[in-house]
A and B are shown apart, each in its own frame.
Chain A
Amino acid sequence: MNFELTQEQDMIRKMVREFAEAEIAPKAAERDRTGEFPQDVFHKMGELGLMGIPFPEEYGGSGGDTVSYAIAVEEVSRACGGTGLSYAAHISLGCSPFYYFGTEEQKKKYLIPLAQGKSMGAFGLTEPNAGSDAGGTQTTAVEDGDEWVLNGTKIFITNAAYAEVVVVTAVTDKSRGSRGISSFIVPTSSPGFKIGTIYDKLGLNASNTAEIIMEDVRIPKENILGKLNEGYKQFLITLDGGRISIAAMAVGIARAAYEASLQYAKERRQFGQSISKFQAIQFKLADMATHIELARNMTLKAAWLKDQGKPFKKEAAMAKLFASEMATRVCDQAVQIHGGYGYMKEYPVERHYRDIKLCEIGEGTSEVQRLVIAREIGAS
């Protein structure tokens, strides 16, 4: 048992924290207001090797581990939730499928520029009638000579408008249900590929969330990712890893809300003393600190298991479930501690309160996490 970070992990934490405080946090409120996508930030993160942390150098990555990646997501999300979401989606959903399932050639062609941060990664899974229920997938891919022809609509796709290629799932054999779904590599410049609605969200406004519309999009035969009809299996594996990053993101946002509250409570004076002297406020802060610590431990444990090559499905679901739910409570209490000021956009906790909710929804709702955990513990 050793709870200490390695020297490299600690240096990465320090570097990302300094970078995030200096380069990301100052414009977080402005991005929340304008919805401006932080391309300049991702460009710098690419130069620092942050856009491909957990992938080997030969594929453009930094050769880091999942623990380092989780630490980076936490620090980035603490500075700006929207930037954190785009970052987490880029690596976990955009890059990972190439790394896990791509051929050597596909890794070289697609993963390298992504991991170097030259473009954003995106993963087209969700559809109007298919979220966690992959059986509802309506996008189709039909073979036509040496091409695949794709038709369908994907919704809520993070980074879609800033991606050069998107991995999308499509039905290749309707008779086989979820075992008849495959993944395809689709260049966003393909004729018939359109970005539809850019969603107006509750929070996380710095991240880009868009609709993808594909009308007779033709891609070469070799653009199938991995094997035919294995798309369902692939995205379950992809989402397992992604859950670690959403847990880390939740920890990061919760930390930002907690730190703002602790500082505010010490400065805000009522009845002749700072409100942090009141036990009612102290207990809130103590609970926040405790929950954040527990969620981080679980997140890092799931990341560690993944790095050790051990099963981590259950732990990743637990980390995601607990971290996102505790973080929603933390942000709620952060607004409460700030009182009327907490309801105002002038204070950052108002943003955190809106930003955090997605963590209970994206990459599997809390309900789906409970299903996964129930299945893993043999309850179902």
Chain B
Amino acid sequence: MNILVCLKQTFDTEEKIVIENGEISEDGVEFVINPYDEYAVEEAIKIKEEQGGEVTVLSVGPSRAESALRTALAMGADKAILVDDESLFGDEYTISKVLAAVAKRDSYDLILGGYMAVDDGSAQVGPRLAEELDIPHISTITGLEVNGDKVKVEKDVEGDTEIIEASMPVLLTAQQGLNEPRYPSLPGIMKAKKKPLERLTAGDIGINPDEIKAKTEVLDQFLPPKKEAGKILEGELDDQVKELVQLLRNEAKVI
């Protein structure tokens, strides 16, 4: 089985976001594999270990994203592809076009990814990629069984579980709960540097960057307003209620 996992390198979720001159500062920031993509990597490696096959991890991003791919290789993926050509960076529209162009170079039975990235949180790239490749997709899965050329997935729906079957090739996006990603082992880390990592540019995948320019534009970036200290009302209950109503009306202006 040939499995492709698309992953994005994102800020460590514990990092503090700092905005400098309207841009998010990357100074001294730790980067990780987007946690939802990590579930996808783990699932792909599990399937490979159980049923054989090859796992390719793919990312579009700056050269620092190599360390995310190497981590996936250390976990057990077989090879990596990094599209680090800046002319191909853009929004969800652009990225899915680039991923599709890379995916089309080979034939994959199963394409996995996180259902969204924790940084921009659009949850669009997976479904868009499936559309570009003209294959079915199922998003936010929490369970997966692979039987021959069929997949049976579980997904959370409004507090219930939906079970869906599909034929491969298929694209699936991972939700929290799918698995518990492994730590890369020491031998895995040592082997990762010897595994192939291919770097691609627009020319390599036959794309004209001008034709896939971002459809959206970021106009401004700002941090949420600082949370003000809370107010604890004191005194008799009746007075507290009166004060609360008054505050809700005059200060918070919600009633």
Contacts and interface: CB of A to CB of B under 8 A. Distances in A.
B190 A15 contact: no
A15 B190 CA distance: 13
Given A7-B70, A11-B74, A47 B189 contact: no
A15 B187 contact: no
A53 to B, nearest CB: 6
B192 A49 contact: no
A19 B183 contact: yes
Contacts of A287: none
A8 B189 contact: yes
Interface string B59-90: 00000001100110010000000000000000
A18 B183 contact: yes
Interface in B185-202: 185-190, 192-193
A270 to B, nearest CB: 17
A57 B190 CA distance: 11
B158 to A, nearest CB: 31
B67 A7 contact: yes
A15 B70 contact: no
A10 interface: yes
Interface residues of A, number: 19
Nearest to B14: A21
B187 A11 contact: no
Contacts of A63: 187, 190
A57 B30 CA distance: 30
Given A7-B67, A7-B70, A12 B189 contact: yes
A168 B30 CA distance: 44
Interface in B132-188: 183-188
B184 A15 contact: yes
A10 B67 contact: yes
Given A7-B70, A11-B74, A48 B186 contact: yes
Interface in B179-236: 183-190, 192-193
Chain B CB count within 10 A is highest, among A11, A12, A57, for: A11
Given A7-B70, A10-B67, A11-B74, A47 B190 contact: no
Contacts of B67: 7, 10-11
B73 to A, nearest CB: 10
A68 B189 CA distance: 11
A12 B30 CA distance: 14
A50 interface: yes
A81 interface: no
15 contacts: A7-B66, A7-B193, A8-B189, A10-B67, A11-B67, A11-B184, A12-B189, A15-B74, A47-B185, A49-B185, A49-B186, A53-B186, A62-B185, A64-B186, A68-B186
Given A8-B190, A48-B186, 16 more contacts: A8-B189, A11-B67, A11-B71, A11-B184, A12-B189, A14-B32, A14-B71, A15-B74, A15-B183, A48-B183, A50-B186, A57-B187, A62-B187, A62-B190, A63-B187, A64-B190
Interface of B: 30, 32, 66-67, 70-71, 74, 183-190, 192-193
